[in-house]
Chain A
């Protein structure tokens, strides 16, 4: 018996629907069809009238759940692909992000973004938008990498009074599995974790790049290089303390993200370490992103475009030769 990352997301939503009558799901084909990735499979049947199909307008979807949340509901809105949330950009950043600051009224909405790349998905079904939303105040950005985090974080997102952008990685949906769901739900958003202890260099990662980083660590171990791997888990709030603690141990920082290099989570990690941990650094802090072009369609090009085990290994070697 095992459970996937995708099933954990479905189970978390089922649990929330079961336990709180104010929770409902809104999105394109989330009802009888069960969602583009089947993240809401069977939920419409189990919770009649609470898993609702929306028109094909992300703008309207988010606008509508903002209104509902002000009336006391705790809506979950599903984007078919994170890329399409660009159509709801105004509602998410200008309305949802700013609402509490403008009015003092909390806005407990959860926006689920099927985020990141899958082989052969091309430029409009592969993008990573966490950095974009993290730029705006008022939004919590979650980027779980494990089954347990996906489950706990989604329940925490629904429970939080702040708007949450929940970035679930499509590549992990059916590839990441766990024995079982956590028996007790625990809330730990905003806390990064050290997933692998090491003494030579700190790799900061999150979401799918956690697995590339761990694979790189195994590869480097054969050469006697012992790297530490940090999983950010939530990119906003960013757990600077855990990152600095790790760099204090190793003296070297490599930040890895599937997002684009211009600005973003990696840039923020590097900036914070450079300014708050300058004295800890024994080499220039570095980052590894996908390339600064739209995401290519062909699976081989896609692999070459994003950070990979090989590119992380290469970068780490270079940094330690410095």
Chain B
């Protein structure tokens, strides 16, 4: 873009009059521009072929801006180079042959924190001696810094104008840090090793590289294995020893630990085993192991027990009408079946975020057998008539004692009854099986003095205690109270069964 008249500083491109690739002659008008004074044309400096237009139509450019490039002969280029040295502003196009980036007429040279003495790694800025915009000469002191040894000056690398200070007073910078920039001539920049490509991004190459490093990922706190404190950690060796012994976590929990924070070490297990060996032991039966496993799993829940006394007399009278009279435990079982059929949610199991409801009202009745307990299941008990239960139950008990329970009576109860009355026990807190959410306990019947308001005296009455033990995650206190009241209401009015 030439100077297009006195006091004209810029011009706007109206039209490109030649095409890229077009052969042109010297002084041919190739670009039409408009200044604040007139429309005029820009001409070629010599013969050649249009290589490129860097200027765009309707954009405004300052005098001296490169608008495009011509491919010209070596002679023309040389001739123009000579005149360029006399009047550089007039032939900017030539710079293209020198591979200097066109947008830059001057180059910013970084001001670098020098090594200010042996074993000095950094220095603190005390004062900026020169101002931004000030013309400076080479080796002029522009920044005063203090090292751990002395106060010293940072000098300019070449002639130029202070473009910018990036360093701040009172801040400390390591050797090699960029403290600011000087606008300098291309020659000086080249001598100092600052190339145009580096300057284009306005930061030296090292900083540019640094910029390309992806930002640090957010720090995540990873739960660490307790390296310093063993605590509940089970080492692979202890784990594999436990596996070998067929131990569960519960078994390991019983071993006194001497490691960090009570961790059970491999040696602790060995000591524990050595102690066990001092005692007589025998292989547990399959039934005992099954019960043990069921109780271990059951005990993983928060269980709660409530109890109430009720009168056995209505049942004892009612059962007499049947050929095979059902025992009190069967009355209780039937009562649970009725109550749960009314409100099956009470028998739901909670697994993860799911409430698993019973598919049918199957109630277990615990039976004592040799060295253990089995719980035969009465399927869909809510739908079975009480009159048939006596005989049916007797068959199941016989089968249970012979360990010959039919498949459908073996498991899957949603609740069960345990009658510990025959053992002389009045009250207990039995544990529901893992498939069950609740279990009802029936205590020994006995005559108790009950206050009779009508006669204002105690009267003997055949009573028993009823307990409900339930998974407190599923059943709240209020619901359990309603349930046990409902059971008592049914049992004291057995006609409804």
**A contact set with B: CB distance below 8 Å:** 251, 278-284, 321-322
Give chain A residues whose Cβ lies under 8 Å from the Cβ of B227: 284, 322
CB of B235 closer than 8 Å to a CB of A: yes
Chain A residue nearest in CB terms to B263: A322
Give chain A residues whose Cβ lies under 8 Å from the Cβ of B238: 282
Q: Are the C-beta atoms of A279 and B266 separated by less than 8 Å?
A: no
**B contact set with A: CB distance below 8 Å:** 225, 227, 230, 235-240, 259-260, 263, 265-267
**In the complex, which of the residues B225, B235, B260 contacts A282, with contact meaning CB atoms closer than 8 Å?**
B235
**In the complex, which of the residues B236, B240, B260, B266 contacts A321, with contact meaning CB atoms closer than 8 Å?**
B260
Give chain B residues whose Cβ lies under 8 Å from the Cβ of A283: 235
Q: CA–CA, A283 to B225, complex, Å?
A: 11
Chain A residue nearest in CB terms to B241: A279
Given A251-B266, A282-B265, residue A322 in contact with residue B230 (CB < 8 A): yes
State the Cβ distance, B257 to closest chain A Cβ, in Å.
12
Given contacts A279-B236, A282-B237, A322-B260, 18 further A-B contacts (CB under 8 A): A251-B237, A251-B266, A251-B267, A278-B236, A279-B239, A279-B240, A280-B236, A280-B237, A280-B240, A281-B235, A281-B237, A282-B236, A282-B238, A282-B267, A283-B235, A284-B227, A322-B259, A322-B263
Q: CA–CA, A283 to B260, complex, Å?
A: 11
Q: CA–CA, A271 to B251, complex, Å?
A: 31
Give chain A residues whose Cβ lies under 8 Å from the Cβ of B263: 322
Chain B residue nearest in CB terms to A280: B237
Q: CA–CA, A172 to B54, complex, Å?
A: 75
Q: CA–CA, A87 to B240, complex, Å?
A: 49
Q: CA–CA, A281 to B225, complex, Å?
A: 15
Given A321-B260, A322-B230, A322-B259, residue A282 in contact with residue B266 (CB < 8 A): yes
Chain B residue nearest in CB terms to A248: B237
Q: CA–CA, A278 to B266, complex, Å?
A: 13
Q: CA–CA, A321 to B227, complex, Å?
A: 11
- Going nearest first, the 9 A-B pairs with the smallest beta carbon separation are A279-B240, A282-B266, A282-B237, A282-B235, A251-B266, A278-B236, A251-B237, A281-B236, A279-B236
Chain B residue nearest in CB terms to A278: B236
Give chain B residues whose Cβ lies under 8 Å from the Cβ of A278: 236
A-B contact pairs, 19 of them (CB 8 A): A251-B235, A251-B237, A251-B266, A251-B267, A278-B236, A279-B240, A280-B240, A281-B235, A281-B236, A282-B236, A282-B237, A282-B265, A282-B266, A282-B267, A284-B225, A284-B227, A322-B227, A322-B230, A322-B259
Chain A residue nearest in CB terms to B240: A279
Give chain A residues whose Cβ lies under 8 Å from the Cβ of B239: 279
Given A251-B266, A284-B227, A322-B230, residue A279 in contact with residue B260 (CB < 8 A): no
Give chain A residues whose Cβ lies under 8 Å from the Cβ of B237: 251, 279-282
Q: CA–CA, A321 to B259, complex, Å?
A: 6
Q: CA–CA, A27 to B60, complex, Å?
A: 77
Chain A residue nearest in CB terms to B260: A322
Q: CA–CA, A131 to B239, complex, Å?
A: 33
Q: CA–CA, A280 to B240, complex, Å?
A: 8
Give chain B residues whose Cβ lies under 8 Å from the Cβ of A280: 236-237, 240
Give chain A residues whose Cβ lies under 8 Å from the Cβ of B230: 322
Give chain A residues whose Cβ lies under 8 Å from the Cβ of B225: 284
Chain A residue nearest in CB terms to B269: A282
State the Cβ distance, A228 to closest chain B Cβ, in Å.
15
Give chain A residues whose Cβ lies under 8 Å from the Cβ of B236: 278-282
Q: CA–CA, A279 to B259, complex, Å?
A: 18
Give chain B residues whose Cβ lies under 8 Å from the Cβ of A284: 225, 227
State the Cβ distance, A247 to closest chain B Cβ, in Å.
9
State the Cβ distance, B244 to closest chain A Cβ, in Å.
9
Chain B residue nearest in CB terms to A283: B235
Indicate the member of A280, A281, A322 with the most B CB atoms within 10 Å: A322
Q: CA–CA, A278 to B239, complex, Å?
A: 10
Give chain A residues whose Cβ lies under 8 Å from the Cβ of B260: 321-322
Q: CA–CA, A321 to B260, complex, Å?
A: 7
Chain B residue nearest in CB terms to A279: B240
Give chain B residues whose Cβ lies under 8 Å from the Cβ of A321: 260
State the Cβ distance, A199 to closest chain B Cβ, in Å.
9
Chain A residue nearest in CB terms to B237: A282
Indicate the member of A280, A281, A282, A321 with the most B CB atoms within 10 Å: A282
Give chain B residues whose Cβ lies under 8 Å from the Cβ of A281: 235-237
Indicate the member of A251, A278, A284 with the most B CB atoms within 10 Å: A251
Q: CA–CA, A284 to B259, complex, Å?
A: 13
State the Cβ distance, A58 to closest chain B Cβ, in Å.
36
Chain A residue nearest in CB terms to B229: A322
Q: CA–CA, A251 to B239, complex, Å?
A: 12
Give chain A residues whose Cβ lies under 8 Å from the Cβ of B235: 251, 281-283
State the Cβ distance, B368 to closest chain A Cβ, in Å.
42
Q: CA–CA, A322 to B228, complex, Å?
A: 7
State the Cβ distance, A250 to closest chain B Cβ, in Å.
9
Chain A residue nearest in CB terms to B235: A282
Q: CA–CA, A282 to B240, complex, Å?
A: 10
Q: CA–CA, A25 to B482, complex, Å?
A: 99
